[in-house]
Each structure stands twice: as structure tokens, then as C-alpha cells.
């Protein structure tokens, strides 16, 4: 070994720590012609690509969206106040991308995946993931076949969501759309604790910073933050940050998806994103269409939601996936999935407006939340009658699929007959029974916020109700019955619950369940 002089080391260290480039590089530059409203027009940059990141002298970044005859239109990811006409803009040569890794879990980041929660820099290895990326092709996908448990009884039983599915959550303001999403994140805790977590990404678009902080603290309290990333583009952030935030969420989700793990991304909400995209498009002078949205608003949402996918469970095939970012090349594994839960806020329950119809047609089903249900105490305020899941049926565990069939049928009949019940009196016995059972079913489908129910408990209580073991229980006592019944099963019949969880419905279990249910029901008449 030859001697290493200490001066040599310190010189190298100093150079590294300085972080500044000492060598001048050949750069491509342009000049700002006009700037304002978060949009800059830049002269020069003749070789700039669409979607490329630019950087201004003061460190603000921008993304090229328009390439025109003699200028380029770029949207700013920062304050436009500090940028002046005549400033130079540099090309970075890289397409808009974010750095993603395990270190992002438990963090709150902005659209460019910079942490904004004050917990220091993102640790661990980071991979460059492009914001805009083509969705995986047909050969790299497989049909949805695994459930994504939301922990909400009404959803898991009647509108089941599969991993890799895109299920729209739609409703007016204050109907509990975000609550459904947050509950779903919290419910993934059991999978996290069991060692195969579903990584969750919550993208908040155009919300109040205080709301985002609330969500973060709720998740932290529930112990759901360690497997969750929050992407926040607040109402005060520039419009480009807001409309790119879902793409950041998708890029983070794709990292987990392509490394063979399940991920869940929630876009809260896409109607606000559409509004900010409209703002940017109009400022870039793109021609407006219906409701002044640009012509490619449908494409904006479809290419975003198309990135949700269940990847084929075959490493060899998955390795050749289209448009893989180079940084991820050696890490690709099959079997991952990205489930998307976009949220759309309607105005006065109008689902036939432009954006809602667009997103309804893109997604594989929708969950309708309604104000009048919410106000009549049915919470979560899901209208099961018109909510559907177009692929979820094949993604239910066997036990749930069996018992949910009856529930769905019961509730459909109940809804039809409910109107008659209002006139009271003379109903025949079977009609009466349907209505009474429907009321009890309705009661068990209610559940408080932040209290997701594991699927095995859902199965147990649905069996009890649909098989008629609770027919004698008073409607207003259903909740107490449920509490005691589940408590009993959890303490004395763990094996039954475990069987349910594994999808088994055995006769012996059913008999015990019946006995226990009738015992408890007798006390709640």
C-alpha cells in the first residue's frame, strides 16, 4: 500500500462537500420573453423537448409544455415574481421526473418530491422516475385477482375493489369522500404489520394546507404513516404544481408497482386538477373546448389512470416492460400492482357534468356518495344501488363472495319495497321480513370514521344479519349487538375468523356462529 497524504484526502473532501461545480459546462440557454400567471414564454432553447425540465437563474424550475415556431411555453414550478423578462433559462436535458425511494414513506412531499414536512432530506437510495410515462402494455398485465380491502363493509361486500383497479369515488362536498380514502389507507395497516404492506400514496390537490396537515396527523395517529407517502399541492401552490401532483403520485406508485409490490394511490381530487389544467392551458393559449376545458382533458385523466395496473406475475416478462426508467432496470419484479382511487367532487349531485362523466367512463366502477344519505345518518353515505365495481367481483375472497351475494340481493329488494313500508299497515309476512332484514342490514353497513373493519369480521357480521340471526334484534340495538358479537368471536373463536380470512366457510363454523349469534341476539330484543 502506498502512502496517502492527509492533504490529499482533505482536498478531495473539500471538493466534494463544496457541492458546486468547479468546471464550466456547455449549456443551452434561452431568454425569457414574457412571464406571468405561472407561465413563461422563452426565446431560444431551439432544441428543448416537450416535457423537459428547465431551470431559471434563481433555481426555480419550469416544464416545457408548448413548442412553438419561435418560442417555447413553459409552466413554472415556483414563484413567478422573482423571474424577469430577459432572464436566462437553462435546459437540464432531463424529462420532468422525481426521485423516488423507500425513504419517501412516512413523508409529506411536494409535486417535485421535495420533502416539505421538515423532517430532513429523504434518506436511502433514490430512483429517477419520470412524471409522464406510458402505461404498461397489454402483455405486461394480468387480470385483477386479489382484493384490496378498504375496511368499509359496504364497499368490501358489495362494491369490491381489486388490486390494480381504478375505482372512482364521487359525490358532493361534505359527503365523506376523503374519509373513505383515509379509512382505506388505515385499513392497510394489518397488511403492513403482517409484513406485506400495500404502500399508499395520498395526493392532495388544491386543498387547504391545514386539511393536508390534518390528514397527515390522522394517519400518524392511526399508525398508517410508515407505509404512506403524502403528495401535497396546496391551494396556494401554482396551478402547474397542482395539475402535476397526480403524476408525481403515479410515479411514486409505479416505483412500488414495478418492484413487485402492491401500491394504492388516491387522487384527491381530480376535478380540482382539471380546473388547474384548464387554467394552465388557457394561459398557454390552447384552444378551449366544452366548459373551457382544453381538448385533451380526457386524455390527461385517461393516461393518468391507465397507469394503474396489475403487473403479470412473471419476472421474465415484467423485466421487458415498456418505457421502464433506466434507473429501475435491474430492480423490476412481476406481480406488483397500482390501484387508483380517484376522487371527483360533483356540484349539486350532477354526475352528468363534463369531468365526472369523463372520469366515470375511464374508471372500472364508481362509488357514489350522497348528501341525503349522509344527512339521514347512513355513514359512509354510499348509495349501493348505483355504485358498481366492474372488475372487483373476481377480487373478493371466497367467503365474502358467498355471503355478499345474498346481501346484495336482499338490499336490492329492500330498496324496492322500502317505499311501500312508508304507508305502513297491511303488508304480507314475506314483504315485512324483507323490509325488516333490510333495515338491519343497513344498520350493519354503517360504521364510524377511522374505524375500518377487517374482512373476516365483516364476513361474520354479514352472515349473522343475512341469515336472519338478528331478525329479533331491535334496529337501534344492532350496533351494540355487532360490538358484542365481534368481541366474542375475537376472544373465543379466533379460529373461525381465521378460516373466514382464508376464504373458508365451513359448516361447523357456521353452526357455532349461528348458536353464538342467537345467544347474543336474545339479549338485544
Partner 1 sequence: MTDHRVASRYVKSLLGLAVEQNALEAVHADMVMFDEVCDTNREFLLMMRSPIIKHDLKRDMLEKIFKKKVHLLTWSILDIITRKNRESLLPAIADEFHVAYNEFKGIGFASVTTAIEIDPVVRKEIEEIAKKLSTRSQVELETKVNPELIGGFVLNVGDRQIDASVSSKLNALRLTFKHNPYQKEI
Q: Are 144 and 391 in contact (CB under 8 A)?
A: yes
Cell reading at 249: 403520485
Minimum CB–partner distance for residue 229 and partner 1 (Å):
14
Minimum CB–partner distance for residue 286 and partner 1 (Å):
18
Cβ distance to partner 1 smaller for residue 118 or 424:
118
Distance CA 216, CA 182 (A): 10
Q: Are 171 and 370 in contact (CB under 8 A)?
A: yes
Cβ distance to partner 1 smaller for residue 110 or 146:
110
Q: Are 99 and 130 in contact (CB under 8 A)?
A: no
Cell 324483507 appears where?
Answer: 434
Minimum CB–partner distance for residue 74 and partner 1 (Å):
15
Could you count the other beta carbons within 10 Å of the beta carbon of residue 317? 14
Cβ distance to partner 1 smaller for residue 20 or 138:
20
Minimum CB–partner distance for residue 213 and partner 1 (Å):
6
Q: Are strands 61-67 and 72-76 parallel, antiparallel or unpaired?
A: antiparallel
Residue partners of 96: CB distance under 8 A and separation at least 6: 51, 52, 53, 63, 130, 131, 132, 244
Minimum CB–partner distance for residue 19 and partner 1 (Å):
5
Cβ distance to partner 1 smaller for residue 25 or 428:
25
Residue 231 parent element (H or E): strand 228-234
Alpha-helical regions (H) of 259-292: 270-283
Cβ distance to partner 1 smaller for residue 209 or 427:
209
Q: Are strands 262-268 and 199-207 parallel, antiparallel or unpaired?
A: parallel
Cell 367481483 appears where?
Answer: 393
- Burial label for 525, CB within 10 Å (0-12, 13-18, 19+), is exposed
Minimum CB–partner distance for residue 115 and partner 1 (Å):
5
Distance CA 100, CA 229 (A): 11
Distance CA 107, CA 98 (A): 14
Minimum CB–partner distance for residue 409 and partner 1 (Å):
47
Minimum CB–partner distance for residue 212 and partner 1 (Å):
6
Cβ distance to partner 1 smaller for residue 217 or 322:
217
Q: Is 285 a catalytic residue?
A: no
The CA radius of gyration of the chain, in Å to the nearest whole number, is 27
Indicate which residue of 141, 390, 439, 479 is catalytic: 390
Cβ distance to partner 1 smaller for residue 43 or 354:
43
Cβ distance to partner 1 smaller for residue 211 or 302:
211
Q: Are 200 and 256 in contact (CB under 8 A)?
A: no
CA dihedral 193, 194, 195, 199 (to 10 degrees): -60
Q: Are 250 and 265 in contact (CB under 8 A)?
A: yes
Distance CA 114, CA 130 (A): 15
Cell 375493489 appears where?
Answer: 161
Cβ distance to partner 1 smaller for residue 14 or 47:
47
The residues that touch partner 1, with contacts defined as CB under 8 A, are 18-22, 24-30, 33, 43-47, 57-59, 69-71, 88, 90, 108, 110, 114-122, 209, 212-213, 216, 232, 234
- Burial label for 402, CB within 10 Å (0-12, 13-18, 19+), is middle
Q: Are 265 and 201 in contact (CB under 8 A)?
A: yes
Residue partners of 156: CB distance under 8 A and separation at least 6: 147, 149, 150, 396, 400, 455, 458
Minimum CB–partner distance for residue 185 and partner 1 (Å):
18
Active site residues: 390
Amino acid at each position: 500500500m502506498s502512502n496517502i497524504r492527509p492533504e490529499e484526502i482533505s482536498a478531495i473532501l473539500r471538493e466534494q462537500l463544496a457541492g458546486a461545480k468547479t468546471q464550466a459546462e456547455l449549456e443551452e440557454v434561452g431568454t425569457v420573453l414574457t412571464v406571468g400567471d405561472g407561465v413563461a414564454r422563452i426565446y431560444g432553447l431551439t432544441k428543448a423537448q416537450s416535457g423537459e425540465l428547465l431551470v431559471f437563474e434563481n433555481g426555480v424550475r419550469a416544464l416545457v409544455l408548448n413548442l412553438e415556431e419561435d418560442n417555447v411555453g413553459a409552466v413554472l414550478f415556483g414563484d413567478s415574481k422573482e423571474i424577469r423578462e430577459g432572464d436566462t433559462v437553462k435546459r437540464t436535458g432531463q424529462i420532468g421526473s422525481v426521485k423516488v425511494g423507500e425513504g419517501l414513506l412516512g413523508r409529506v412531499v411536494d409535486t417535485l418530491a421535495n420533502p416539505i414536512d421538515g423532517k430532513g432530506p429523504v434518506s436511502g437510495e433514490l430512483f429517477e422516475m419520470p412524471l409522464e410515462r406510458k402505461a404498461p402494455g397489454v402483455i405486461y398485465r394480468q387480470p385483477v385477482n386479489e382484493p384490496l380491502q378498504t375496511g368499509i363493509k359496504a364497499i368490501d361486500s358489495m362494491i369490491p375493489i381489486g388490486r390494480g383497479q381504478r375505482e372512482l369515488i364521487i359525490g358532493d362536498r361534505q359527503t365523506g369522500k376523503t374519509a373513505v380514502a383515509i379509512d382505506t389507507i388505515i385499513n392497510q395497516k394489518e397488511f403492513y404489520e403482517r409484513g406485506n404492506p400495500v404502500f399508499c400514496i395520498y395526493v392532495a390537490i388544491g386543498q387547504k394546507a391545514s386539511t393536508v396537515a390534518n390528514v397527515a396527523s390522522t394517519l400518524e395517529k392511526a399508525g398508517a404513516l410508515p407505509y404512506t407517502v403524502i403528495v401535497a399541492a396546496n391551494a396556494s401552490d401554482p396551478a402547474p404544481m397542482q395539475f402535476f401532483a397526480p403524476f408525481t403520485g403515479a410515479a411514486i406508485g409505479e416505483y412500488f408497482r414495478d418492484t413487485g409490490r402492491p401500491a394504492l394511490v388516491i387522487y384527491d381530487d381530480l376535478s380540482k386538477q382539471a380546473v388547474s389544467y384548464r387554467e394552465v392551458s388557457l394561459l398557454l393559449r390552447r384552444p378551449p373546448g366544452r366548459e373551457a376545458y382544453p381538448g385533451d382533458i380526457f386524455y390527461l385523466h385517461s393516461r393518468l389512470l391507465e397507469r394503474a395496473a396489475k403487473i403479470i406475475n412473471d419476472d421474465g416478462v415484467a423485466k421487458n416492460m415498456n418505457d421502464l426508467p433506466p434507473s429501475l432496470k435491474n430492480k423490476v419484479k412481476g406481480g406488483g400492482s397500482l390501484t387508483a382511487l380517484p376522487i371527483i367532487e360533483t356540484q349539486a349531485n350532477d354526475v352528468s357534468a363534463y369531468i365526472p362523466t369523463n372520469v366515470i367512463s375511464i374508471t372500472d366502477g364508481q362509488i357514489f356518495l350522497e348528501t341525503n344519505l349522509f344527512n339521514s345518518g347512513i355513514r359512509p353515505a354510499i348509495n349501493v344501488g348505483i355504485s358498481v365495481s366492474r372488475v372487483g367481483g373476481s377480487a373478493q375472497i371466497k367467503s365474502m363472495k358467498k355471503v355478499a351475494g345474498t346481501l346484495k340481493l336482499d338490499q336490492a329488494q329492500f330498496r324496492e319495497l322500502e317505499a311501500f313500508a312508508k304507508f305502513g299497515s297491511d303488508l304480507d309476512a314475506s314483504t315485512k321480513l324483507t323490509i325488516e332484514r333490510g333495515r338491519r342490514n343497513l344498520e350493519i353497513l354503517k360504521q364510524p370514521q377511522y374505524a375500518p373493519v377487517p374482512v373476516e369480521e365483516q364476513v361474520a357480521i354479514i352472515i349473522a344479519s343475512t341469515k336472519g340471526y338478528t331478525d329479533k334484534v331491535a334496529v337501534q340495538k344492532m350496533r351494540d349487538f355487532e360490538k358484542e358479537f365481534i368481541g366474542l368471536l375475537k376472544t373465543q373463536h379466533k379460529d373461525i375468523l381465521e378460516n373466514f380470512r382464508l376464504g373458508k366457510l365451513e359448516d361447523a363454523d357456521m353452526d357455532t356462529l349461528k348458536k353464538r349469534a342467537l345467544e347474543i341476539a336474545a339479549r338485544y330484543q
